[in-house]
DNA sequence: TTTCAATAAATGTCAGACAATTGATGCGCG
DNA sequence: CGCGCATCAATTGTCTGACATTTATTGAAA
């Protein structure tokens, strides 16, 4: 790996980058053991706390895992979809909340991506996903549900729709768009009539997916997007008045 | 913030999580200054290296930035699209390379998502994006281009297409899908005829976008996906024989 | 042969110190 | 009174050394 001159970057950041590059480049394969902290100290000519800070940076990105004991050490982690999901959702959520992204922009992105899944989902849906969608529709129909719980159920419904496309890459990329919308939706209060409209569209979409009709599912999503935008607009207008 | 019992997690991981939750929850807003390391030590009853490791974990995710000097300290960082892009692309790339995702799966996800952008791009494209697409087409047409350079230009073309949709959320979510494909494509060697086909489709797509014809762009993308899959299949079959 | 304790290696944590950076303070001088 | 400059103080960056904890290995005893 490379050396570390007196640049303006932290030593720990430079060391982390060097190791990260080695992983990306394939010089360090999955489950490979990194040199021990003492060896890394010698290699980079820095102290142990500095090396440790670098390793913690990598651990925070799930790039490595550490293990104590005699045969312990730092190992290149196999990045799994579950960890990547969690990170992606966190980043997406913060990105939206910190950058004043308009509701319209986020909504447009979400439905554009979801519609991309519809034909695949209609073609490949398994009983498992249909069951989740039905269950969430049932759940949403309970009149004493809080707005937050309604939103959470909405997200679960859409996640099942995305997962029905049976493409893990698609599910991963969409997780950010779908889940990150939840905080934005939580400011909306739904009247009983609003909920009924949304549930009706969910039923229509679920039926279309079950029937293998991608076009109908797509049209349902389009209407759902319009309904969502209309709802949000009503709320915002009322608030600013 | 919460206390840290003797759980099985590292202290630094627990502290990092506590601060991260505070940021997500909105208790720490953008540009807010965190307590100094010494104060955090007192608050969590741990030593300074432990606190520092926790802060480095957060810095690795661009959640905080640190500044030296009298008015220095750790500040909540405004997560910008640029940093989020870089992280997302790294994670996506590693996710694909470490999990034996098939070429077909990645390709399907990429084109499904890109097709979602096509109608928006056709509607909103600016001269800027059209110019990039034309320039990349020119670049790709140079016969002495290496395969890697050809792939890089291909990615640049598609990124311009995505950006033309003028939705930063969409661009962000798609960055992972488009860029992460590049390493998978790099194993393919393109004959002159293959390149000609791809470039012809690029021209067709660019023209459709320029003309504001979303449907034509979509059909171009469908053909490009089929062409890409066919190309990859040919390579893999030849390799296994 | 099996069981169990000692050992060694590695990470996790702590304490204290010094260096480097940078804004704030106060002093002197015009 | 205002400006410039040196000093100071607060904070992070890094180092040294030590001890605690965990875990596989080794070797001795039953």
**Tokens of residue A91, six digits:** 């980043």
In this prediction, residue B100 carries a pLDDT of 82
Complete DSSP assignment for A3-18: ---S-SS-HHHHHHHH
Tens digits of residue pLDDT in B209-219: 999 999 999 99
Stretch A132-148: mean pLDDT: 94
Closest to A53 in 3D by CA, of B60, B76, B86: B60
Q: Where in chain B is the domain with CATH 1.20.120.530?
A: 81-240
- Sort out which chain B residues have CB atoms less than 8 A from A113's CB and list them: 113, 116, 170, 173
CB of A175 closer than 8 Å to CB of A85: yes
- Mean of the per-residue pLDDT values of chain B: 92
CATH 1.10.10.10-classified regions of chain A:
11-76
Residue A186 in 3-state DSSP? coil
| pLDDT tens readout for residues B126-136 | 999 999 999 99
Contact B173/A at CB under 8 A: yes
* Close Cβ partners of A230 (under 8 Å, ≥ 6 residues apart): none
The 10s digit of each residue's pLDDT in A25-53 is 999 999 999 999 999 999 999 999 999 99
In A161-187, which positions are buried (b, 16+ CB within 10 angstroms) versus exposed (e)?
bbbbbbbbbbbbbbbbbbbbbeebbee
- Is A216 within 8 Å of A224 (Cβ atoms)? no
Distances from the Cα of B61 to the Cα of A60, A91, A134, A182, B84, angstroms: 7, 8, 37, 22, 9
pLDDT in tens, A183-202: 888 877 778 888 999 999 99
Q: CA A91, C1' C17: Å apart?
A: 38
pLDDT tens-digit series, residues A103-121: 999 999 999 999 999 999 9
Q: Is the CB of residue A71 inside 7 Å of nucleic acid strand D? A: yes
Mean pLDDT across chain A: 92
Residue B57 to residue A58, Cβ atoms within 8 A: no
Report ipTM (2 d.p.). 0.88
Sole residue written with tokens 């470490």: B98
Of A52, A88, A115, the CB nearest to B116: A115
B11-76: CATH, from 4.10.910.10, 1.10.10.10, 1.10.8.60, 1.10.3860.10: 1.10.10.10
Pick the CATH number of B81-240 from 1.20.1530.20, 3.40.47.10, 1.20.120.530, 3.40.50.720: 1.20.120.530
Residue B234: is its pLDDT beyond 90? no
> Residue written as tokens 């890409």?
B228
Q: Which residues have Cβ atoms closer than 7 angstroms to strand C?
A: A 34, 36-38, 48-49, 52, 55, 66-70, 72-74; B 10-12, 45-50, 53, 67-72
Distance separating alpha carbons of residues B228 and B192, to the nearest angstrom: 14
What span, in angstroms and rounded, lies between the C-alpha atoms of A129 and A165? 10
Is the distance between the Cβ of A183 and the closest atom of strand D smaller than 7 Å? no
> What is the rounded CA–CA span in Å between residue B84 and residue B62?
8
């Amino acid at each position: 790996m490379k050396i570390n001159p007196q640049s303006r970057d932290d030593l720990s950041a430079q060391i982390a980058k060097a190791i990260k590059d080695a992983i990306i480049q394939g010089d360090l394969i999955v489950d490979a053991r990194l040199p021990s902290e003492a060896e890394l100290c010698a290699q980079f000519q820095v102290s142990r706390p500095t090396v440790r800070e670098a390793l913690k940076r990598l651990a925070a990105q799930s790039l490595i895992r550490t293990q104590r004991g005699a045969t312990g050490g730092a190992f290149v982690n196999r990045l799994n979809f579950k960890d990547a999901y969690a990170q992606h959702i966190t980043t997406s959520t913060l990105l939206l909340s910190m950058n004043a992204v308009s509701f319209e922009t986020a909504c447009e992105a979400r439905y554009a991506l979801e519609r991309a899944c519809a034909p695949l989902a209609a073609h490949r849906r398994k009983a498992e996903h249909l069951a989740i969608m039905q269950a969430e529709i049932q759940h949403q129909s309970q009149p004493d549900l809080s707005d937050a719980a309604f939103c959470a159920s909405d997200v679960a419904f859409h996640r099942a729709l995305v997962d029905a496309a049976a493409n893990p890459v698609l599910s991963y990329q969409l997780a950010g768009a779908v889940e990150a919308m939840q905080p934005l939706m939580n400011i909306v209060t739904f009247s009983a009539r609003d909920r009924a409209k949304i549930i009706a569209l969910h039923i229509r979409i679920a039926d279309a997916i079950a029937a293998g009709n991608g076009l109908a599912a797509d049209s349902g999503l389009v209407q759902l997007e319009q309904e969502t935008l209309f709802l949000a607009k009503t709320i915002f207008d009322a608030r600013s008045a």
